[in-house]
């Protein structure tokens, strides 16, 4: 009888420890997800900034060259600029979709700890 109480107490203690570990992992996962999202957002902004700056310099050089030539080249330059801007928007949307569909960190571990805790509570 004493062994059953000891075993029951031990299971309760183990269940509590598993619950605490799960909570800690959930908090860690949340913090890492927020930090990851902020880092990726900053990285994307930096990449777009660099792309726009360098592409702007190239476009300025092309504009200077084309301005002194025929008028048809201006339409071609406008078409290319619009195409690059459209491609940039598409890639931006693809990046944002990829960020939104990234799985949560430690999701599998949290699920396993939840299974362990419920198994200990039922025995």
pLDDT tops 80 at residue 42: yes
pTM, rounded to two decimals: 0.46
Q: Is residue 49 part of a domain?
A: yes
Task: Tell me if 40 is assigned to some domain.
Answer: yes
Residue 106 pLDDT grade (very low, low, confident, very high; cuts 50, 70, 90): low
Q: What pLDDT score was predicted for residue 70?
A: 78
Question: Domain range spanning residue 115?
Answer: 18-122
CB-CB contact of 74 with 67 (8 Å): yes
DSSP states of 81-109 = HHHHHHHHHHHHHHHHHHHHTPPPTTHHH
Q: Structural domain tally of the chain?
A: 1
Would you state the pLDDT for residue 123? Answer: 61
State what percent of residues in the chain have pLDDT above 90: 0
| Integer Cα distance of 106 and 111 in angstroms | 9
Q: What is the pLDDT of residue 14?
A: 84
* DSSP structure class, residue 1: -
């Amino acid at each position: 009888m004493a062994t059953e109480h000891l075993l029951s107490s031990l299971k309760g203690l183990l269940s509590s420890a598993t619950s605490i570990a799960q909570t800690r992992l959930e908090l860690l996962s949340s913090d890492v997800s927020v930090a990851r999202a902020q880092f990726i957002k900053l990285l994307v902004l930096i990449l777009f900034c660099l792309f726009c700056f360098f592409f702007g310099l190239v476009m300025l050089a092309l504009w200077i060259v084309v301005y002194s030539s025929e008028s048809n080249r201006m339409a071609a330059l406008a078409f290319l600029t619009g195409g690059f801007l459209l491609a940039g928007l598409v890639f931006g949307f693809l990046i944002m979709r990829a960020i939104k569909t990234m799985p949560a960190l430690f999701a599998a571990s949290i699920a396993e700890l939840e299974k362990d805790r419920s198994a200990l509570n039922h025995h």
